[in-house]
Amino acid sequence: MSTVLFSRRQALATLLSAAALASPARAGLIVGANGPLIGRAPGPVVSLERPQPVAKAPQTPPEPAQEAVVAAQPRMDGALSVALLNANTGDRMTAVFDGTGPAMVPRDKARLDWFFRDWRQNEIRAMDPDTLTILASVVGAARRQGWDGEVRMHSGYRSRKTNDQLRSRGVGAARNSFHIQAKAVDFSMPGMEMAALHRLVKAEAPGGVGLYRNFVHIDSGPQRRWWG
């Protein structure tokens, strides 16, 4: 009996050795540039020379929450629906904000963060809640004055790389712009003149407000006023 067992074990060892010589990876060995490094990997085979994939921002937005799919009209229950257009990518979405004390809280924050992403670098950073509250407050005030349209977003979150590229091209981007911190939005409201929008924003925004040729800048930083 012992002779039979020894022969089976010996045959199995011979088969494993032959498989390792023919294809170390298939035999469960960790593979390096010069061949197997150590025997019998406990899990899936990993080549040490192959870089692991890096996750990127999705090309499409997260699935919207069911309650966020509503018409872009003010609602009587304290919620505010805002139709948004990304002037750079053509993306559209309707954001719904609920009034919670002094804040306006978006119901579908992940989708909104995707909408305000740095589209040049395909990077996403969570938008500052105070900045979104300012934007929603401006839209609410505009609705009370009779405006009813789509908010055109020109710039939201901006990575350091994108900001530096814009500065190198002579675009008026501050070195440490609040856009880099996802605390600023540049936008316009088609159907409302820029001067009227600027007056409205100055009355509603406690932070930074800048007037440019075709958009108004808002941020949640210290109170400042300027013309670009």
Give the C-alpha separation, 151 to 187, whole Å.
7
Q: Return left, alpha or beta for 73; rule: phi > 0 is left, psi -120 to 50 is alpha, else beta.
A: beta
Q: Is 32 in contact with 48 (CB distance < 8 Å)?
A: yes
Q: Within the chain, where are the H helices?
A: 2-22, 109-115, 129-144, 160-168, 194-204
Closest CA to 107 of 116, 126, 117, 94: 94
pLDDT for the residue 127:
98
> In this predicted model, what pLDDT tens digit does every residue of 165-178 receive, in sequence order?
999 987 778 889 99
pLDDT for the residue 67:
42
Domain layout of the chain by residue ranges = 1-54, 67-227
**Predicted confidence pLDDT, tens digits, the chain (228 residues):** 444 444 555 554 554 455 444 444 444 433 444 444 333 333 333 333 343 333 356 666 666 554 433 333 333 348 999 999 999 999 999 999 999 888 999 999 999 999 999 999 999 999 999 999 999 999 999 999 999 999 999 999 999 999 999 999 877 788 899 999 999 999 999 999 999 999 999 999 999 999 999 999 999 999 999 998
> In this predicted model, what pLDDT tens digit does every residue of 110-154 receive, in sequence order?
999 999 999 999 999 999 999 999 999 999 999 999 999 999 999
What pTM does this model have?
A: 0.68
Question: Which is it for the CA torsion 205, 126, 166, 91, positive or negative?
Answer: negative
67-227 CATH fold: Muramoyl-pentapeptide Carboxypeptidase; domain 2 (3.30.1380)
Closest CA to 155 of 200, 188, 191, 198: 188
